A and B are shown apart, each in its own frame.
Chain A
Amino acid sequence: MPIVKLQQVTYHYPFTEKPALQDINLEVEEGEFVAVIGPNGAGKSTLCYTLAGFIPHFYKGELKGIVEVDGVLVQDSDLSDWVLKVGLVFQNPFNQISGAKYTVFEEVAFGLENSGVPRSEIIRRVEEVLQMTGIADLADRSPYSLSGGQQQRVALASILVMQPKVLVLDEPTSQMDPIGTREVFGVIRQMAEQGMTVVMAEHKVEWIAQFADRVIALWEGKIYLEGKPHEVLTDERLVEKGFGVSRYTTTARLALPRGLWQKERPLPVTLEEAVAGFSALRNARRKQG
């Protein structure tokens, strides 16, 4: 039984002609890690808002089709109940700071205070999550004094601490360096292993290839391609529609007609795969003499 179910979902923002989402059909299994890619304006954020219930509960406009999580229709649930089930980490970390708290520790605790968790458990869960997201040393800092990447970690921690069944992330590493990105992907993968369902809008295809179970490519509000990360991320059709493509894929694609990439070998997405491919070719040539 899939935990997330979208059927024939079409959504128009108020006063707009063109749908931001069109005929979306999507099922996500419990514990699955799905990545959503797409050029700017493809509808990634809109999809995230829909999953998290902000469409239709906060953004009005016209929502058609079925949005169901854990067997409950979004229209039948209050937003305040829905957010406990589906947690959303937004694109802009600065605007996610509650504005009511003075330290990172308090900021992360905010969601638990609101949902009535006892104090001792709040403290235990916040400490655990701060460790996990690598910001334990920032606990006493003001959330405003942090860098963008650090604020993104705080935003992630603030939602993770609430232990939602479904975790939705909208470009959660956009302001992070490669080390931060790697850590965050690692944490999210770990959550998925523990049974949390993850849907993540993200540009960084090399990381998606390593960590996600499935990739959805959105284009103009529609699902354009869908499948295993490597199949989707190396699909030629992504290039013409302006999707971000890994430079290793591009390199190998250019090398292929020149005989510099083995035909039977799938195109690489990550550096490791590219290196493995090129060394395999060199070794094969050496053998031939």
Chain B
Amino acid sequence: MHERLSFYVKRESALHQLNPLTKLTLVFGLILPAFLVPFYWTPHLLLLLVVFPLAFLGKVQGEYFTAVTKLILPAAGFLFVMQALFIPGGETVLAKLWFLTLTQESLMYAFANAVRIFVMVSSFTLFMLTTHPSELMSDLTQRGLPGQFAYVIIATLQIIPQMQAKASTIIAAQRSRGLDTESSFARRVQALVPLVGPLVFGSLVEVEERAIAIEARGFTSRRPKTSLREIYDRPLDKGLRWLLILIMLASLVSRIWFS
């Protein structure tokens, strides 16, 4: 079935060694300036001067640029085209196409927005590539996040591939009993109805069994929990987090100040 349940790539790198919370702060320390700072070239500079070097620093450039070409670039590109063509306004008309007008202003605006999205998705991608989900959860739990909360987050992250696998098993089973899932769209929607039952009901029964099973492993014990993973929080991490918080505040202030 699904051997890989996370995006995490195990490597030895400066980025891997950072504390998970520091990396999470870094994600927002990139996104906020990209969206808030009123200087036009901010997201572009962030992308070139921070995000791309970070991918190399984390030694995940290969995985990252694969994600860029397969996912981020198409999504940002689509957004760019839509906004460039459909956002009204602007004086410098560059081209006219039937009812669509392309102006320099809307082109610039769309470009910046696309790069903002690029920065946002990239930061999250780099975060997930270099942070093991268990590590993030252990760290957050030790900082006081309730265990139940952490469990829900991490179990949800794992449930999607599980559900996909189960859905395909059920579909295969129903199809072998003659269920039509391949003809016209309406018929296929109709055919999906009997699949919902087993998927939802099966999941409910499993939720109950799983609840007992984690109970059997002492999950609700009131003793203070320990963690298998050793998570470091070095002075560098603390310093970086403060710096990032300052950057976020500065972006917010710059936004309010200059508008």
Residues of A whose CB lies within 8 Å of any CB of B are 52, 54, 58, 79-81, 83-84, 87-88, 90, 92, 95-102, 105-106, 109-119, 122-123, 126, 141-142, 144-145, 158-159, 162
Q: State A126–B6 Cα separation when bound (angstroms).
A: 23
Q: State A110–B219 Cα separation when bound (angstroms).
A: 8
**Total contacts A to B, CB within 8 angstroms?**
120
Q: Is B162 an interface residue (CB 8 A)?
A: yes
CB-based contact A83/B225 at 8 Å: no
Smallest CB-CB A-B distances: 9 pairs: A111-B217, A95-B209, A114-B218, A116-B223, A96-B213, A80-B221, A99-B155, A109-B228, A145-B3
Contacts of B77 in A (CB 8 A): none
CB distance from B166 to the nearest CB of A (A): 10
Could you list some 16 contacts between A and B, CB below 8 A? A58-B211, A58-B215, A84-B218, A90-B216, A95-B206, A99-B214, A105-B228, A113-B226, A113-B227, A114-B218, A114-B225, A116-B225, A119-B226, A142-B3, A144-B1, A144-B5
CB-based contact A119/B218 at 8 Å: no
Q: State A284–B3 Cα separation when bound (angstroms).
A: 59
Classify the interface of chain A: helix, strand, loop or mixed. helix
CB-based contact A115/B162 at 8 Å: no
Q: State A70–B179 Cα separation when bound (angstroms).
A: 55
With A95-B210, A142-B2, A142-B3: A113-B220 Cβ-Cβ less than 8 Å: no
CB-based contact A159/B216 at 8 Å: yes
Which residue of chain A has the shortest Cβ distance to B4 in the bound complex? A142
CB distance from B167 to the nearest CB of A (A): 15
The stretch from B86-94, B129-137, B248-256 touching chain A is B129-137
Q: Is B50 an interface residue (CB 8 A)?
A: no
CB distance from A59 to the nearest CB of B (A): 9
Contacts of B212 in A (CB 8 A): 54, 58, 90
Number of interface residues of B (CB under 8 A): 39
Contacts of A109 in B (CB 8 A): 228
Q: Is B78 an interface residue (CB 8 A)?
A: no
Contacts of B216 in A (CB 8 A): 52, 54, 83, 87-88, 90, 96, 159
CB-based contact A98/B226 at 8 Å: no
CB distance from B201 to the nearest CB of A (A): 14
CB-based contact B218/A111 at 8 Å: yes
Q: State A151–B147 Cα separation when bound (angstroms).
A: 25
Q: State A45–B228 Cα separation when bound (angstroms).
A: 32
Q: State A119–B158 Cα separation when bound (angstroms).
A: 25
CB-based contact B223/A145 at 8 Å: no
CB-based contact B226/A106 at 8 Å: no
Besides A80-B218, A102-B133, 11 other A-B contacts (C-beta < 8 A):
A58-B212, A80-B220, A87-B216, A92-B209, A97-B213, A100-B151, A114-B219, A119-B226, A122-B226, A142-B2, A144-B162
Q: Is B159 an interface residue (CB 8 A)?
A: yes
With A98-B213, A117-B226, A119-B226: A162-B151 Cβ-Cβ less than 8 Å: no
Q: Is B154 an interface residue (CB 8 A)?
A: yes
Residue of B154, B206, B218 near A115 (CB, 8 A) is B218
Q: State A205–B239 Cα separation when bound (angstroms).
A: 65
